[in-house]
Chain A
Amino acid sequence: MSESEQSITVDEAYEQDNDKSIKFLRPRFHAEAFPTVQIFGYVGSLVLTFAAYFLVMNHVLPVLALLIIILTLAALQAALQLGVFMHVQEGRGMAWQIIPLYLVFLIAFGMVGMSIWIMLFKSGVS
C-alpha cells in the first residue's frame, strides 16, 4: 500500500488483482506512438454532432423520423465518447465503472424519454 509501485509492471499488477473474470477490462496502459483512435474519435464525434444539427436545422425529415434518427445519433455519440475518450475498457480489479454505466442508461433514457413526454404538450400548440 505504502510502497512505491513503480517496480510493478502492468502485467504483474493485473495478476495481483482479485477479479480476473472480466477479460475485456484487461489494462492497456501501453503508449501509442500516434493517437490514431483518438483523432478518429474526435472527427467522428464532430461528424455526428453536425449531422444532428443539419437534420434539425433543415427540416428534411418528418418529426417522428427526425426524433428517432437524432436519438440514434446521440446513442452513437455516447458510445463513442465512452469507448474512445473515457477509457471504459481500462481498469484494474473490480469493474466499478460498469455500475455507474447502468445508472447512466437508466437515468439518461429516463430523462430524455420523460422530457419528450412532458414537452410534447407543446407540439399541439406551436
Chain B
Amino acid sequence: MPSFVPYLVHTLFPPTVRLPDILLIDFGLICAGIGVIVLLTKTRRWGWLWNDWLTTVDHKKIAILYLIAALVMLMRGGIDALMLRAQLALPTTHFMPASQYDEVFTTHGTIMVFFMGMPFIFALFNAVVPLMIGARDVAFPRLNAMSYWLFAFGAILFNISFVIGGSPNAGWTAYPPYTGLAFNPGPGENYYFLALIIAGMGTTMTGINFLVTTLKMRAPGMSLMKMPMFVWSTMVTSALILFAFPPLTVALAMSLFDRLFGSHFFTLARGGMPMMYVNLFWLFGHPEVYILIIPLFGVFSEVVATFSKKMLFGYPVMVASIVAIMFLAYGTWVHHFFTMGAGPAVNAFFGLSTMLIAIPTGVKIFNWIFTMWGGRIQTTTAMLYQMAFIPVFMVGGATGILLAVVPADYQLHNSYFLVAHFHNVLIGGTLFGLLSGLYYWWPKMFGMKLNETQGKWAFWLFLIGFWVTFLPQYLLGLKGMTRRMYTYPLGFGWHDLNVISTFGAFIMGAAFVVLVYNIVWSLLYGERDLTGDPWDGRTLEWSLPSPVPEYNFPRIPVVHDRDAWWAMKQKGQSLADLRPEDVHDVEMPKNSPIPFLLGASFFVLGFGMTFAWWPIAIIGFVGIILCLLFSGFDYNDHHHLKADAIRQTEATLGRLQG
C-alpha cells in the first residue's frame, strides 16, 4: 500500500465524518448516485441532459434548475433544523455530540440563506421577469448560465463538506476568532469561505444581469412607472446585490488568507482586528436580509392584485417605499453588533435608522390590505400565503423594532428572542413568499397547476407549525436561553417550551413532505393549463401559452398600461391573433458548455484550496482561465430562429391567424 493512502484517508475522512448517521448518508448518496447513472444510461438520457439542461442558456430552463436546487437545499436545511430541534427538545439530551451540533446549526443557517433562499428567488426572477417585461431572454444569457453554475458548484462544494473532510462549525456568520486557524484547524471553514466566494460571484453576476435586463430590455411603451411591482422589486434587489456582495467577498477572502497564507487581517495576534470582519460581514448582511425579502414583497404585490381582482393599491407609493427600503437597508448594519460597543452615538444612529425602515415597510403592508379591501378575494393557495404573511411579518417586524432599541438589545442579543425574530421574518416573509410565488407561477413554468387541496394542506401545516415552533422561542429568549446552546440542564424552566417548539418543527417537516407530494402528484396528474392564463392574471407573462415557447414572444408586444395584459383583455385584445406576416426571424442565444465547465473549474479550484492541495487548485485555475478565454473570443454565440419555425409553433398552439 503506498504511503500516502493513510494520509489521504485521514484528511478526507477524519473521525468527525465517520459518525454512524453520516456513514449511513454516505451509503445512501452512493446508492442514489449509482441509481441516477444507471437510469440515465438505460434511458439514453445523457445527450438530453447535456444538450437540454447542462448547456442551456434559456432563462426558463435555468429557472427550473434553480428551483430544483432550492427545493433540494430546503430539504437539507430542513433536516438540519429537525436535528437541532430533536437535540434541544429535552434537557441534557445526547442526540448529537456538541461538535456535530455546531456543524449542523452552521450548515442549517448557511444553506437556508445562501443555497435555499437565494436560488429560490433567482428561480422566480428567471422564470418570469423576462416574460413580464416583454423580452426574449435576460440581457446576458450566457452570463446567466454562468451565474447558475457558479452557484450550483458552490453549493456542491459546501454540501460535500459533511461527508468529506468535515463541515464548517463557526455559525453561518463565521466570525473570527472561531474561524481562526489557531482555534479551528481542518478544512471545514475553508469549505465555507470558498463555497460562499464562488456562489457569491454567481450572485453578483445575477444582480448585474437583472439590473441591466430590467433597465434595458423592457418592451416598447413600458416606462419605469408601468413596470409590474415584481419587476421593480427585481431591479431594487439587483441593485442591493450589486453593492452588498463585494464587502462579503472581501471579508471572506481576507479570512481565507488568514487561514491559508498566514495573513493577520482578523486574527487576535499581530494587530489583526476581528471586529472589522463583523463590520464587513454585516455591511453585506443587512442588505442581504432585504435581498431575501424585497423580491417576495414583489411576489405578494402581484398575487394580491391578481386574486383580489383589483389594481394594486397605491402603486407609486409602493415604488417609493421599495426604493426607500433599498437606501435605508444600507444604513442599518450596526444593529447586528450593537454589543460591540462602538459608542452611544453610533448605536443611537443605527438604532434610529433601523426603526425608520419600519415606515416604508408599514406603508407596503397597508397598501396590500387596501388592495384586498373591496376586492373579490379568491382564496387560492398563493393568496392564502399572502394573507398569512401579513400578520406573521407584522409580528416579526414588531419584535425587530424591540431589538432595535439599543438598551433592550443588550439583553436580547443572541438569545432565542433573536432566533425567533429572524425566523419570524424569514419564514413568514421569505418562505411564505417563495411558496406563494411557486404556486402562482408554477403553471407558467411547467404547464400544469399544483393541486390546490394538497397545497392548502401544506399551507395550514406550515402556518400552524411555524407558530407552534417560534412563539415558544420568544418566551425562551425572555427566559434567558441563548442561541447555539448544545444542551441545557433541567430546572431552568425551559424544557416544556422546548418540547412544544420541537413539536412545531416536526409539523413544518410534515408540511414539507406534503409540499413534495403535491409537486410530484401534480407533475403526474395535475390539471393542464391550456389557456396560459389560469388565474385571470394582469401582467404580460399570462398572455403567453404555458409552458412558454423558447422565443417567448413571437412579436414583441407594445405596452400602454400598467397591468398590460389586464388592459388588453379589457379592450378585447389578445396576443394570440398573430398574422403570419408579423413573424420574423428571431435572434436567440446559443447553448454553450462554457458556463458548466467554468463552474466545474471553480469547483476543482475550490476543492484544491480547501485542502491546500495546490496542484489540484492550479488545474482548476487553468480551467477557469481557458473557459474565460474561449468565452471571450467565441463570437459564434447566437443563432437565428427562422420565421417559418416560429409560425409552425404558433400555429400548433392555435395562436396564428389564417
Contact = CB atoms under 8 A, between A and B. Distances in A.
Contacts of B216: 96
Nearest to B638: A4
A35 interface: no
Contacts of B280: 115
A2 B585 contact: yes
- Interface footprint category on B: 20 to 34
A122 B346 contact: no
B330 A110 contact: yes
A103 interface: yes
B331 A115 contact: no
Given A3-B584, A121-B341, A115 B283 contact: yes
A2 B584 contact: yes
B279 A118 contact: yes
B586 A100 contact: no
Contacts of A99: 215
Given A100-B211, A103-B239, A110-B331, A121 B342 contact: yes
Contacts of B584: 2-3
A41 B346 CA distance: 39
B215 A96 contact: yes
Contacts of A107: 243, 330
B556 A2 contact: yes
Interface in B261-306: 271, 273, 275-276, 279-280, 283
Which secondary structure characterizes the binding site on chain A?
Answer: helix
Contacts of B585: 2-4
Contacts of B215: 96, 99
Contacts of A119: 273, 275-276, 279, 342
B140 to A, nearest CB: 14
Interface in A110-126: 110-111, 114-115, 117-119, 121-122, 126
Contacts of A103: 239, 243
Q: Which of A96, A106, A121 has the most CB of B within 10 A?
A: A121
A99 B345 CA distance: 32
A122 B273 contact: yes
Given A103-B239, A121-B342, A126-B271, A115 B279 contact: yes
Interface of B: 211-212, 215-216, 239, 242-243, 247, 271, 273, 275-276, 279-280, 283, 327, 330-331, 334, 341-343, 346, 555-556, 584-587, 640
11 contacts: A2-B587, A96-B212, A96-B216, A99-B215, A100-B211, A107-B243, A110-B331, A111-B243, A118-B279, A121-B342, A122-B275
